[in-house]
Structure 1
Amino acid sequence: MNLSRLCVHTITTKPLSIEEAAKCYSRENIRGITVWRDALEGRNIRATGKMLREEGLEIVSLCRGGFFPHLTAAGRKDAIDDNLKAIEEAVALGAPMIVLVCGAAKGQSLETSREQIREGIAAIEPYAKAAGIRLAIEPLHPMYADTRSAINTLAQANDMAEAFASPWVGVAVDVYHLWWDPALQQEIERCGKHLFAFHICDWRIPTRDILLDRALMGEGCIPVAQIREWVEGTGFNGFHEVEIFSTEYWSGDQQLFLQKIKHAYLHHS
């Protein structure tokens, strides 16, 4: 195990600007970065991508697209337009992939939301293909099924990706959202070549906040190393992306946090 496949999401070091993050990641010999769209606000995206590459960073993906379901047709159109904008941003940045947090709408069934997700991805897939941008459907833990995602198991994500039968549509495996699933190993094996992304962190015991209390690998109960073996068994050889939302870690020294991330990655992933 070495650092050559370690990637950190900009949201993981949220207090840092993207310029600061690039310098800090590079200083710690972290080679991959996934950029969250909020980090690009007010910036020349093409110039930002050039800056990241000059710091020696490989841009792994742009996060996030999705949020397709809405109660109104106008809301669904706005969501598609925003995803088309995300494709343009990914091209300008030099990111080869967009992670889709698919969304759900309060006031309608999950089944209706899932159909709207299918329709949304179908609407943007031709544009993603033309731009050379892959779309990774990320299933979220069932506790987020109310408004964040109606796609809650890897089986559902696999079903949807397989239905598109497009090399531009695949799935993202995030251990935080999927570690609990008794069918996880078989569904990871099922992914095959449409496994596009692998996100890691840990589930704190007890979890103090369902969104903002993720832990470093080794601090919780997720068998990250075991899941990584299953993922790599599919032939996946991409980056291992550290994605941590944590008010605790955001409140501290971010350079020290990156050093802790490296240690956790090397010893508990």
Structure 2
Amino acid sequence: MDRLSLNQITTKAWSLPEAVRGCAEAGVGWIGLWRDKVAEVGVDEAARLVREHGVGVSSLCRGGFLTGVEPDGSPVDGVAMTKEAIGEAARLGAGVLVLVVGGIAGNDLAASRQRVADAVGELAPLARERGVVLGLEPLHPMQCAERSVLSTVDQALAIAAEHPADAVGVVVDEFHVWWDPRLAESIAAAAGRIAGFHVCDQLVPLPDPLLGRALPGDGPIDHRMLRARVEAAGYTGPIEVEVFNAELWRQPGDEVLAKVIRAYRDHVAG
């Protein structure tokens, strides 16, 4: 339980105060915060709550879309949004800011990936100055057009490796990368660069590319094997259970957290 982190999206119905209190009461020492939930109470109040309850912040999700487009195609200043998010992460004591980098801009995949690389180059010095690691999170290829032009650990690592490890790393999210035939080699190559490890399972058949996730143990992913690989690459930090699942979101937060703890113990923990 010392490494278990509740990613806040898993208990979406809970407010930030409810989630922090729930973690503290259940003995869960970490929480992965989302900026929209933080905004509901304000950054200073959120920081006070986690300190008061003795809960560490494993990450803040997320920065802006660095390709410059929202999932619906509308333009966005992702660099400015990420600069703001870096400041919030620092104030919250979150060592990692998760970056979902954005989908294809102008129907040009190569140029979109270069936009991401350029943006990270601009943001890395600020992140390092504030003590925050930018965690590049590759998403499943089915989300390339809308949410992330980075689809593999290799692609994220190629950008991260251009910067100090205490400024830019990669986030390994099981749902997005477990299928990759190069995953073992990619994780090994990312030694010293893994900034986060997110666990969940995949529903079979997949009902939705975003919400088709389940608690560990309810799908085909070998969680202990992947945990062993990220640990062999040097990652010993919090393990976030992050589940996008509409049915789970309709359940009371305390019941969901109890299921998270049971799934983590049964299928993830050593």
Runs of 4 or more consecutive aligned structure 1 residues displaced over 6 Å after TM superposition: none
Give the residue type in structure 1 aligned to 2:14: L
Q: 2-side partners of 1:41 and 1:69: how far apart?
A: 24
Identity, % of aligned positions = 37
Give the residue type in structure 2 aligned to 1:134: V
Q: Judge which range, 91-100 or 139-148, deviates more.
A: 91-100
Partner of 1:136, secondary structure, is: strand
Q: Pick one of 35, 55, 58 that aligns with 1:57.
A: 55
Q: Pick one of 24, 30, 33 that aligns with 2:31.
A: 33
Give the residue type in structure 1 aligned to 2:79: I
Is residue 137 of structure 2 the alignment partner of residue 138 of structure 1? yes
Q: 1:115-194 maps to which residues of 2 (within 5 A)?
A: 115-194=114-193
Alignment root-mean-square deviation, CA: 1.5
Q: Offset at 1:163?
A: 2.4
Give structure 2 stretches of 5+ with no counterpart: none
Residue matched to 1:220: 219
Q: 1:248-259 maps to which residues of 2 (within 5 A)?
A: 248-259=247-258
Give the residue type in structure 2 aligned to 1:12: T
Give the residue type in structure 1 aligned to 2:183: L
Give TM-score scaled by structure 1 length. Answer: 0.94
Q: Offset at 1:213?
A: 2.6
Question: 1:66 touches 1:101 (CA, 8 Å); kept in 2?
Answer: yes
Q: Offset at 1:238?
A: 0.2
Partner of 2:197, secondary structure, is: strand
Q: 1-side partners of 2:105 and 2:134: how far apart?
A: 25
Q: 1:68-87 maps to which residues of 2 (within 5 A)?
A: 68-70=66-68, 75=75, 78-87=77-86
Question: 1:213 touches 1:248 (CA, 8 Å); kept in 2?
Answer: no
Q: 1:43 to 1:267 in 2, by over 3 A?
A: same
Q: How many residues of Structure 1 are paired with residues of Structure 2 in the alignment?
A: 264
Question: 1:106 touches 1:147 (CA, 8 Å); kept in 2?
Answer: no
Q: 1:239-254 maps to which residues of 2 (within 5 A)?
A: 239-254=238-253
Q: Offset at 1:130?
A: 1.2
Q: Offset at 1:55?
A: 1.0
Q: Offset at 1:126?
A: 1.3
Question: 1:49 touches 1:93 (CA, 8 Å); kept in 2?
Answer: yes
Give the residue type in structure 2 aligned to 1:257: V
Deviations, residues 237-257 of structure 1 (Å, cap 9, x unaligned): 101101111101001122111
Give the residue type in structure 1 aligned to 2:178: W
Give the residue type in structure 2 aligned to 1:6: L
Residue matched to 1:16: 14
Q: Offset at 1:99?
A: 0.5
Question: 1:110 touches 1:150 (CA, 8 Å); kept in 2?
Answer: yes
Deviations, residues 51-108 of structure 1 (Å, cap 9, x unaligned): 112112011111101411137xx956x2111111001111222211101001123532
Question: 1:98 touches 1:136 (CA, 8 Å); kept in 2?
Answer: yes
Q: 2-side partners of 1:106 and 1:125: how far apart?
A: 22
Q: Offset at 1:47?
A: 2.4
Residue matched to 2:263: 264
Q: Offset at 1:166?
A: 4.5
Q: 1-side partners of 2:200 and 2:191: how far apart?
A: 22
Question: 2:105 touches 2:112 (CA, 8 Å); kept in 1?
Answer: no
Q: 2-side partners of 1:51 and 1:42: how far apart?
A: 13
Q: Offset at 1:42?
A: 3.7
Q: Judge which range, 183-192 or 162-171, deviates more.
A: 162-171
Q: Offset at 1:165?
A: 4.3
Q: 2-side partners of 1:195 and 1:42: how far apart?
A: 30
Q: 2-side partners of 1:208 and 1:75: how far apart?
A: 29
Q: 2-side partners of 1:75 and 1:138: how far apart?
A: 21
Is residue 40 of structure 2 the alignment partner of residue 46 of structure 1? no
Q: Offset at 1:23?
A: 1.1
Give the residue type in structure 2 aligned to 1:30: V
Residue matched to 1:203: 202
Q: Judge which range, 174-183 or 124-133, deviates more.
A: 124-133
